Structure 1
Amino acid sequence: MIENIVKSTSYVTALVLVLLVVLILFDALSRYLFSMGSTSLQELEWHFFDVVILLSIAYTLKYNAHVRVDIFYAKFSPKLQAIINILTTLFFIFPLSFLIIYVGVGFVEMSFVQNEASSDPGGLSNRWIVKSLMPLSFIILLLQSLEELINSYKEWKVL
């Protein structure tokens, strides 16, 4: 189930990334060729960028593409790598994810209640939608890191 969730979010992210490229191209062409600019288009670019970054976090963990000190990690034995994965999941990913989910839900709720919108004229409304990606992405990360924890534990026990 977790794999399907991560895979689905990666497809959404890929689609949004393509839309982001098209949107940036359209925005740049309209600005430089026709001297037309749009605040809402620029804000939409940032929102799409948020989608790409936030929904890619669990995917990068799943495929080991996240930031790590590989010059040391690669030289460790598989058993030590499994122990490091277990410890970093328990003491870094889990606490950070729970904290961001807890705080993020409050940000989304406040944004929704206040009907937060852009302060720029012509900007986008309903900021709570993009803010809701923060807790959502860390819920997905939490699920993926749980799967990684289980896999690392199995690997550690076998070795």
Structure 2
Amino acid sequence: MDPAFFLHLGTILKWVGIALLPVFLLPLITLVVPGLVEALAKRVSAIIDAISSIALGGAIASALLLVLFQLSVVVLRYTYGISFTWLNELVIYAFAAMFMLGAAATLRDDGHVRVDILRPRFGADGRNWIELAGIYFFLFPICIRLLTTGEQGLARAWSLFEGSSESDGLPFLYLFKTLVPAFAVLMLAQGVSEALKAALRLTGKLENEVPATSETESAHGA
């Protein structure tokens, strides 16, 4: 297929991304005029959360396939002395898809490991401000960097329908490489949702959540 097609497609997607840039400002607008955009903010957050749930379904399916593929590898290798490169690559693909597709839903459910041991000790407003700062100063720049640095390589992979470097490997390495921008887009979207929730909590439009560590400490105190 003509490589120019994928370059044009990449350009279109880039302009779509630029057109969606105002969405990244919605949490900040919510802080300033919460009454004006409250309904919109909640709707956008709900839609993004639903998309993350769909991606989570893909991650769960990938986890099940990972178990199946890995079991097949073990049985074939240690029972029959047979090994297939394409089957080993399927294990890698399923493992990557499980994490890449499930990361956004994990962020939504506050399941990522947090290294900031002081965050749970701050008040509700402090935690929300930290959430906003972390999303805008760390999550967004890193994900945007992932998208911009891999653009040309991904376009080339799709233009060639790049496959495995091994003769008996899988013929769709380009799909495997697409997991990286898919991860970045899902995380960017979920970051917007979490920023919206933090902004709504700061303006009193959404109930504050109690950190799990605080609940644990209260239970021990009781």
Question: Structure 1 length as normaliser, TM-score?
Answer: 0.94
The reply to whether residue 10 of structure 1 matches residue 63 of structure 2 is no
Structure 1 stretches lacking a partner, 5+ long: none
Q: Which has the larger displacement, 37-46 or 69-78?
A: 69-78
Residue in structure 2 matched with residue 42 of structure 1 by the alignment = 88
The reply to whether residue 71 of structure 1 matches residue 128 of structure 2 is no
Aligned letter for 1:119?
Answer: S
Residue in structure 1 matched with residue 190 of structure 2 by the alignment = 144
- May I ask how many residue pairs the two structures share in their alignment? 159
Aligned letter for 1:100?
Answer: L
Structure 2 stretches lacking a partner, 5+ long: 1-46, 209-222
* Deviation, structure 1 residue 140: 1.2
Residue in structure 1 matched with residue 69 of structure 2 by the alignment = 23
RMSD over equivalenced CA pairs, Å: 1.4
Identity within the alignment, %: 26
* Deviation, structure 1 residue 70: 5.0
**Superposed CA offset, 1:15-45 (max 9, x none):** 1100110110011001100111100100111
1:85-104 equivalence runs, <5 A: 85-104=131-150
Measure, in 2, the Cα distance between the counterparts of 1:78 and 1:107: 43
Residue in structure 1 matched with residue 165 of structure 2 by the alignment = 119
Q: Which has the larger displacement, 98-107 or 53-62?
A: 98-107
Preserved CA contact (<8 Å) 1:61 1:144: yes
**Superposed CA offset, 1:29-75 (max 9, x none):** 01100111100100111011110111111111101011212531111
Measure, in 2, the Cα distance between the counterparts of 1:134 and 1:94: 15
* Deviation, structure 1 residue 155: 1.3
The reply to whether residue 155 of structure 1 matches residue 201 of structure 2 is yes
* Deviation, structure 1 residue 157: 2.4
